[in-house]
Structure 1
């Protein structure tokens, strides 16, 4: 079975943890506590006739925790950049989150832009057109979601997983099956999941 590490990043209160919960547990929690540090969830899905286990890490959006999460960017092969369509500030913050991914994640990471909270459309501050234009600027796909209703939540993760599987099948990336690692050609660290914790082992090969 293929196993991919996916990270969800974005400012605080954009609904990252709610997206994770909706995808992994198929439920929405109205009174969701702010994530402190790192949240984690997983779900197995079927993509292109292959079983794929997504290990999803929800990085805290608060400025004070950004340094804590830097090590968790490494080893990720998929990333979801989330903003709140009712918050222009969170939309503007995407650039900084993208820069952090560029600095700390694998070069081959597959990214997608998500505008969340479409159930609050009457309070919208960022139009769908703006979101699409931003994504197009970076050559990413753009989805609008509602973690509350579940709108497009599965589609986001399924699209990301499909793009990664296509890379695996084409030989662009290799998978370190034994330790749930992602073997890329441009980093020299291997990450493995043990008891829901991320351990790093220096290796001479090109795993990360």
Structure 2
């Protein structure tokens, strides 16, 4: 039987997804949540929150997935939503070298606000566009290894490694947090200012906080 939102969960993990605008963060989530892909995915404004429950080894695990805006103007706003994060998925576009370089800006920012044992995964997205590749897979693997991060290349178009990426992050979270039950995790740390939603609903846009200078 598949777990539902009404059931008691064994674990509750907050996962943030960061990266430049256009790398496919929202498409990655949409493919994972709904098994869908669209060429016309709208640019994320602010932060969007999705909730999904998965079952691993008879344990119900709630994943609170946060899709963050990648535009430069939101760079000083987004870190406020990192608080209490258990995992961070850093996404770049394999056809865009700049998007790869930008990944490393976020690592220190996430460490400042997330839990002390945050799980990192680096994803090189758009692996279906091999003929336009600018970032060698070996470079992504090397940088991920140097920074002690999980690594995969994905394609939202054909679903390559999308499910696997979230499974690996979740499995690693269970290893890191194996002795911490859901009742020990404060909900206020998981959801700073947004309403939880089920995967069958449209995503809820988080109310943007007053903008400040970076």
SS of corresponding position for 1:64: helix
Q: Distance in 1 between matches of 2:124 and 2:46?
A: 22
Q: Runs of 5+ in structure 1 lacking a partner?
A: 182-188, 199-208
The 3 A distance-change label for structure 1 pair 167 and 154 is same
Match of 1:47 among 17, 42, 56: 56
Match of 2:182 among 175, 179, 182: 175
SS of corresponding position for 2:92: strand
1:157 shift after superposition: 0.6
The 3 A distance-change label for structure 1 pair 178 and 118 is closer
Contact 1:168 1:175 in 2 (8 A): no
SS of corresponding position for 1:161: helix
1:192 shift after superposition: 4.0
Partner in structure 2 of residue 32 of structure 1: 41
Q: Runs of 5+ in structure 2 lacking a partner?
A: 1-8, 197-203, 207-214
Partner in structure 2 of residue 195 of structure 1: 195
1:115-194 map, 5 Å? 115-169=124-178, 171=179, 173-176=180-183, 181=187, 190-192=189-191
Partner in structure 1 of residue 66 of structure 2: 57
Q: Does 1:76 align with 2:85?
A: yes
1:40 shift after superposition: 2.0
Q: Does 1:105 align with 2:114?
A: yes
1:42 shift after superposition: 2.1
Q: Distance in 1 between matches of 2:44 and 2:159?
A: 20
1:177 shift after superposition: 6.2
Q: How many residues align?
A: 189
1:110 shift after superposition: 0.7
Q: Distance in 1 between matches of 2:133 and 2:38?
A: 21
Q: Distance in 2 between matches of 1:124 and 1:151?
A: 16
RMSD between aligned alpha carbons?
Answer: 2.1
TM-score normalised by the chain length of structure 1: 0.84
Q: Distance in 2 between matches of 1:175 and 1:45?
A: 14
Deviates most, 49-58 or 116-125 = 49-58
TM-score normalised by the chain length of structure 2: 0.81
Partner in structure 2 of residue 90 of structure 1: 99
